[in-house]
Amino acid sequence: MNARSYHGTRRMVVGISGASGFIYGVRLLQLLAELDIETHLTISRSAMLTMVHETDYKLTDVTSLADFTYRCDDMAAAVSSGSFRTLGMIVAPCSMKTLAEIATGMSSSLISRAADVTLKERRPLVLLAREAPYTLAHLRNMSAVTEMGGIVAPPVPAFYARPLSLDHMIDHTLGRVLDLFGLEAGVVRRWGKHEQAVV
């Protein structure tokens, strides 16, 4: 889908949940800003704990990257309504708890509510499900989300891209996620282009 074709709206909902990989959400916000996409962010309480353990970011550092930020319990936020037009939603990373809420329609947080809205409005929903190994419950929840039209995209590195650093692996993953929205971030080393590594 071309980003400019959806009713002229260039908005993306971004959820950051409590799975390991907080940096995926941060870098996603940076890439969307570079693409001039208006971002609407919500961060779970567990994600804030992950942020402290995994990064040197402060909450204000992250929220300053988004155009709009909502509390995870703000069920009256704009993104909780299907009448609020967006390109879709990305949850990066997506915890197994958040996945389960989305799979079962249990909207106990703004992330799961916004995801539910995205699915019911038939907009793209991409979940960077972060866990290993998977239990049968995890797999069944992934199957349920897929059957509803969502896309489960675990952040798995593409070694054919010859990544030179962790940053390159993160960018490649997020670039491929943005491909699903028709957005070209310029950070993906495409298959067949092996002349040089991404720098």
Q: Which two tokens stand for residue 11?
A: 């908005």
| Over residues 154-174, mean pLDDT | 93
> Does 15 have pLDDT greater than 80?
yes
Q: Do the Cβ atoms of 16 and 25 come closer than 8 Å?
A: yes
State what percent of residues in the chain have pLDDT above 90.
Answer: 87
Name the pLDDT band for 194 (thresholds 50, 70, 90). low
Q: Do the Cβ atoms of 138 and 96 come closer than 8 Å?
A: yes
- The average confidence (pLDDT) of the chain is 92
Beta sheet of 68-70, edge-to-edge order: 68-70, 38-43, 11-16, 89-94, 125-129, 151-152
pLDDT at 192: 77
- Tens digits of residue pLDDT in 32-84: 999 999 999 999 999 999 999 999 999 999 999 999 999 999 999 999 999 99
Name the pLDDT band for 193 (thresholds 50, 70, 90). low
Q: What's phi and psi for 152, nearest 5 deg?
A: -95, 120
> Does 151 have pLDDT greater than 50?
yes
pLDDT at 189: 87
Which residue in 47, 110, 51 sits closest to 84, CA to CA? 110
CA–CA separation, 92 vs 41, rounded Å? Answer: 11
The one-letter amino acid code at 175 reads: G
Greatest distance between any 2 Cα atoms in the chain: 50
| Over residues 122-137, mean pLDDT | 97
CA–CA separation, 160 vs 167, rounded Å? Answer: 15
pLDDT at 181: 97
CA angle 135, 147, 5 (to 5 degrees): 125
Which residue in 99, 110, 108 sits closest to 146, CA to CA? 99
| Over residues 77-97, mean pLDDT | 97
pLDDT at 4: 39
> Does 5 have pLDDT greater than 50?
no
> Does 196 have pLDDT greater than 60?
no
For 58, residues 6+ apart whose C-beta sits below 8 A from its C-beta are: none
**Tokens 């567990």, residue?**
46
| Over residues 174-199, mean pLDDT | 82
Which residue in 65, 37, 40, 13 sits closest to 182, CA to CA? 37
> Does 21 have pLDDT greater than 90?
yes
Domains and CATH numbers, the chain: 11-179 (3.40.50.1950)
Q: Is the pTM of this model over 0.85?
A: yes
